[in-house]
Structure 1
């Protein structure tokens, strides 16, 4: 993964970075768009789904026709989702983690040559293919006999063999989540990325990021609740994901109610009666910290929810 990231970085470095002609796609600037900027635009929730599919179809066709740098470009464009899966698989892989990462990348590159560009959700299906390749490598490593003179014993992997990343990818494919929302949940709930770091990377304030994740998790929980009744009883991935998200929502609700419910009402603020004469200044349009997000703004570390939900599988 580090090699793929570095190679992609070289493609977008210098006075003439590799770019895509934005005039060919609706929703992109009317100029050459460097690939690193293009990746951020495609991951944005404001990006139309049609634009995302059209750009990915173009990238895949360039990879098939020219290979080389365009294949590296495709890997770099999908690297955030690939890295999340590779990190989870590598942590459970019996052997060198780099082998699990290589399996994910190999599955992605192989899918570039076979994915159907006529169907929507191209990048999601590419992620599925990469994930399945990494999962197969993980199962093979777990089924392999233990080393000679080792105290470890080979056992069958504990079902389910799936992972919540697959649930998130399926939710993106069905329009329940945007790719950005899925990446936010995957990175901060399933991964080790703090909410503040994710928000800083995507130029989003802490509480705005927090609210985006909470709304997305509400939709995801409702969608999962509808699916649990018809799910395979031997595959509790969706149920486990639903349980984790529900636990996270309860913790978030407790934290939010403790911090804001009385302050918004105007009755009490920090245990003291609120001064109605001072309330208008907090939302003044002339104040650089104006708007609801600027009211009572403090450092993210001071109000960050303390109970990040543990990995759900």
Structure 2
């Protein structure tokens, strides 16, 4: 089947992803990964490998945990930073596991099995885009767990609702909504207002800490390294934790306290501007030396 033939394109999301992966990894120019760049201690063949061959190698070496972790960290990074074809590549590399989950979860399912496929793929992609933490071990396992849970949740929906003859006995009338006291977004906004969190860090903090977005694309957009952004967010965590303990985010701060917090914010801004200027000077010197 030609991958360009829309009339024969698979209706199942997983089958479509498998077809796209096959197109990416076929000759004469298959998508490849340089395993030597992942380090000599991974146990991987120290060569450039087409992804299909690399997937086969990983399947033949199920206990090569270090190799699998390093391969998947690289795949996740590329899927987040280097474009849609690496997203397809990551899905294709996980396809044996995803298809196994689909087969297991579709047994006895009253609905369309393609819906199970779609939920499994959605769960995997959500974790691939934002949820998998590259600082933790076994990133592939976390992707697979997310995919399995998404498919399982669809199956469990069959058990959530039971038909009843009528609902006349249900109490009607208005219900008092829950007041969002202490909502995290409101606390973050107050932290910015008080100078506990710098305005330029607000969105990154919300995206990573509250939205659980992947840190790599955010760091790239800010023009800083992942480690630098992670350290910056960790320092913000400490300041916010201290402010919560002191009641600054949930109570009234005195004018003296507000002035002190804003003074510290100004000092942080000066240090950051100084580091940025030093980095620009170093880059300019390096460029001038290269041109000489």
TM-score using structure 2 length: 0.47
**Structure with the larger helix share:** 2
From the CA coordinates, give the structure whose radius of gyration is larger. 2
TM-score, with structure 1 as normaliser:
0.44
